Chain A
């Protein structure tokens, strides 16, 4: 952090300024002049929080994708199918047992197992052949999508959150001030706050595991130099299996989250695959903090775009990606290889 500030004083100043402006926009009550330019503060806050929550969901999907790619150079274009499969399985579990929370470990295990099968049976046979992996996983995603369409049909499903997450919570942020001077605080769905909190917890936990544990050390070493790690006696295939299972399980759990605050239907798999692609391109391949920044940027631009320029919200996402590619092809936090 301090190193960054010393190396890039201008950039740090700009980032600090932007953060200050954002904090002021969030916490200070808006004057009438500002509201006439940007619309009601309530709308801005809702778009902002919606964007952050969507970013959290994207992060859950994309972090597994970026981890798998960063460590194994495996291009898993069936990642979106794992997401959708996790969502459908979570729906079944929570419908049959009535427990929303139980769905998470069950789906994590099931989709993680599928991930192990994928890594062991598919990717190990074609290590280093990126193009072939791409083709095979595209074929797999076509097959999986059709099987899921077969089982669950074309209608859309929504997973219901438990009662204790139902309804809104009041946040200590002023959204509006009445004429009488009484402040109205922002109310926001509790489920979304829970998702946001969970994503932050998972992100921090991943960072801790990667940077503070022996397994994380192995994974980081594997990202840097795979041959050297296996030459020093580490059974790298087991590390690969563990990472692939974790990434797949994470995508499956993200499916439950996505099914709770949006819906599950055929086509969501490609949507989330593309979202993770863009997130990872923007953030940099193989970087967890990069995935977080990319997910936040894409989620925010999508939601803000929906509110302020509904026709072109997709174009904003695309423009961010094109700008990153044009000026930093390896992604914001990616390392040039």
Chain B
């Protein structure tokens, strides 16, 4: 065993050394953030960024690796949040069952994954734009259903006072513990997506995206791969949904309303659906804009309510000029710089 490892180390560096320095710097900044950032930044800005990033990551997985743009991810996340409120404890004592955390978290993820899988099984019967339309229609049906149903989802008002459990003597809703909780979940989800994308399943899924006929001819079950992708993405979205309900301490139909569903798409597309880091970049841009745009807009003499206009125009600009998002802009800029400095391809031309 040791012989093999030695030989490998001689050919290529250890995996730790292959991580680019940018990642070390990013990790260091994120881990030491509580030392120099305020509670508002930690809880509201960074916590929300990681949560939205996780949910958008599940969309990125489906869209980037599976070629299926699904708008159901926010509803799946909200479903997980609802399950936490229903099976755990909340302010609505008539409905909530108050089970312990080690029971209701798996139940929530399981139910949300089941929901996402059923929707996925319906959606994979169609392709391209039809998938968007069908998932959008189902997402809106979910929104109206939760708003009208009072026996399970408590209708218009939803659930309040849904807080994370007091584990290991830590109040997880305090700024610093919550920051590390969301950071940890985001890192796990990111690693899971990267791992799955390189595993045989992920490679087969990318093959299905590029050429479903050929993959079917090679003996792969195309439909099963797509549905399984929905299941995996739903688990990730469910994790984001549970964190979301803990951060807001409440969940209501509006959590998965049409604007919220569209926002997840905006985040994923603005960040770039080509790579798993994209959704987090998009989420950071979105959260920073939504947190600070009222100040910015009033500085320009506009009313602070025009936030959606700003987001919409920014989104339009990104999809108009760079279909692969901010990441695509960055990559093109780097490619251009590399071309400029390359003496063979001509610096000045």
- Given B134, B305, B308, which contacts A142 in the complex, CB threshold below 8 Å? B308
> A274 — which chain B residues lie within 8 A by C-beta?
136-137, 140, 258
A277 interface residue, CB < 8 Å from B?
A: yes
Interface membership of chain A positions 122-160, coded 1 if the CB is closer than 8 angstroms to chain B and 0 otherwise: 000000011110111011101101110110000000000
Q: Is residue B133 within 8 Å, beta carbon to beta carbon, of the partner chain?
A: yes
Contact B313 A143 (CB under 8 A): yes
A191 at interface (Cβ–Cβ under 8 A)? no
Q: Within 8 Å CB of A131, what residues of B?
A: 69, 128-129
User: Is A311 interfacial (CB 8 A cutoff)?
Assistant: yes
Does B122 contact A326, Cβ atoms closer than 8 Å?
A: yes
What separation, in Å, do the CA atoms of A325 and B266 have in the docked complex? 27
| Neighbouring B residues of A329 by C-beta, 8 Å | 125-126
Closest-by-CB residue of B relative to A147 is B309
Within 8 A of A (CB), among B105-148: 122, 125-126, 128-130, 132-134, 136-138, 140-141, 144-145, 148
The answer, among B128, B137, B145, for a CB contact under 8 Å with A281, is B137
Interface flag for A321 (CB, 8 Å): yes
A311 to B122, CA, bound (A): 24
- Residue interface bits B300-312, CB-to-A below 8 A is 1, else 0: 0000011011011
A24 on interface, CB distance cutoff 8 Å: no
Choose among B144, B262, B311, B313 the residue that contacts A314 (Cβ–Cβ < 8 A). Answer: B144
B residues 304-336 with Cβ under 8 Å of A? 305-306, 308-309, 311-313, 315-316, 319-320, 323
Contact B319 A142 (CB under 8 A): no
Contact among B133, B305, B316 with A140 in the assembled complex (CB-CB below 8 Å): B316
CA distance A329 to B223 in the complex (A): 15
A310 to B148 Cα, complex, angstroms? 9
Q: Which residues of B contact A75 (CB under 8 A)?
A: 129, 132
Q: A75-B129, A146-B312 are in contact. Are A135 and B269 (CB under 8 A)?
A: yes
Q: Is the C-beta of A11 less than 8 angstroms from some C-beta in chain B?
A: no
In the assembled complex, the Cα of A140 lies from the Cα of B323 at a distance in Å of: 15
Judge if B298 is at the interface, Cβ distance under 8 Å: no
**Residue of B130, B134, B145 with most chain A CB atoms under a 10 A cut-off:** B130
Q: Interface digits, A210-236 against B, CB 8 Å rule (1 contact, 0 not)?
A: 000000000000000000000000000
B291 at the interface (CB under 8 A from A): no
Taking a contact as CB atoms closer than 8 A, the residue among A132, A149, A281, A325 that contacts B319 in the complex is A132
Interface size on A, residues (CB 8 A): 38
CB < 8 Å neighbour of A136 from B149, B258, B316: B316
Residues of A within 8 A of B52 (CB): none
Shortest CB-to-CB span from B226 to chain A, Å, is 14
**B262 interface neighbour in A138, A277, A278, A310, Cβ under 8 Å:** A138
Q: Is the interface of A mostly helix, strand, loop or mixed?
A: helix
Residue in chain B with minimal CB distance to A69:
B129
* Residues from chain A with Cβ under 8 Å of B136 in the complex: 274, 277
A312 to chain B, nearest CB (A): 7
Residue A318 is within 8 A (CB to CB) of chain B in the complex:
yes
Q: Which residue, A129, A139, A143, A313, has most C-beta atoms of chain B within 10 A? A: A139
B265 within 8 A of A: yes
Q: Closest CB-CB distance, B271 to chain A, in whole Å? A: 13
CA distance A274 to B145 in the complex (A): 15
Q: Are the CB atoms of A325 and B316 closer together than 8 Å?
A: no
Interface: A270 (CB within 8 A): yes
Look across to chain A and name the residue whose beta carbon is closest to the beta carbon of B139: A274
Asked if residues B319 and A135 are in contact (CB atoms below 8 Å), the reply is yes
- Tell whether A183 is near chain B: CB-to-CB under 8 Å: no
A132 and B258 contact, CB distance less than 8 A: no
B309 surroundings in chain A (CB, below 8 A): 143, 146-147, 150
CA distance A278 to B138 in the complex (A): 10
Task: Assess whether A34 is interfacial by the CB under 8 Å rule.
Answer: no
Q: Are B122 and A138 in contact (CB under 8 A)?
A: no
- Residue on A nearest B149 in the bound complex, by CB: A311
Interface string of B143-165 (1 = CB under 8 A from A): 01100111000000000000000
Q: Does A322 have its Cβ within 8 Å of any Cβ on chain B? A: yes
Residue in A138, A315, A326 whose beta carbon sits within 8 Å of that of B145 in the complex: A315
Tell whether, in the assembled complex, residue B316 and residue A315 are in contact, meaning their CB atoms are under 8 Å apart: no
CA distance A277 to B133 in the complex (A): 6
Give the residue of B128, B149, B312, B316 whose beta carbon is less than 8 angstroms from that of A130: B128
- Chain B residue nearest to A129 (CB atoms) is B323
- A260 contacts chain B at the CB level, 8 A cutoff: no
Inter-subunit contact B311/A142 (CB<8 Å):
yes
Q: How far is the CA of A277 from the CA of B138 in the complex (A)?
A: 11
- The residues of B that contact A129 with a CB separation of less than 8 Å are 323
Bound-state CA distance A138–B320 (Å) is 12
In the complex, what's the smallest C-beta–C-beta distance from B91 to chain A, in angstroms?
A: 23
The chain B residue sitting closest to A282, CB to CB, is: B137
How far is B33's CA from A318's CA once the two chains are assembled, in angstroms? 46
Between A and B, 24 residue pairs with Cβ closer than 8 Å are A131-B69, A134-B132, A136-B316, A138-B315, A139-B316, A139-B319, A142-B311, A142-B315, A143-B308, A143-B309, A143-B316, A146-B306, A146-B308, A149-B305, A150-B309, A274-B258, A281-B137, A310-B148, A312-B145, A318-B137, A325-B122, A325-B125, A326-B122, A326-B125
**A→B interface (CB under 8 Å):** 75, 129-132, 134-136, 138-140, 142-143, 145-147, 149-150, 270, 274, 277-278, 280-281, 285, 310-315, 317-318, 321-322, 325-326, 329
The 5 A-B residue pairs whose C-beta atoms are closest, nearest first, are: A142-B312, A143-B312, A139-B316, A314-B144, A318-B141
Other A-B contacts than A138-B315, A143-B313, A314-B148, 13 sampled, CB-CB below 8 A, are A129-B323, A140-B316, A142-B308, A142-B311, A146-B312, A147-B309, A270-B258, A280-B133, A281-B133, A312-B145, A315-B141, A318-B138, A318-B145
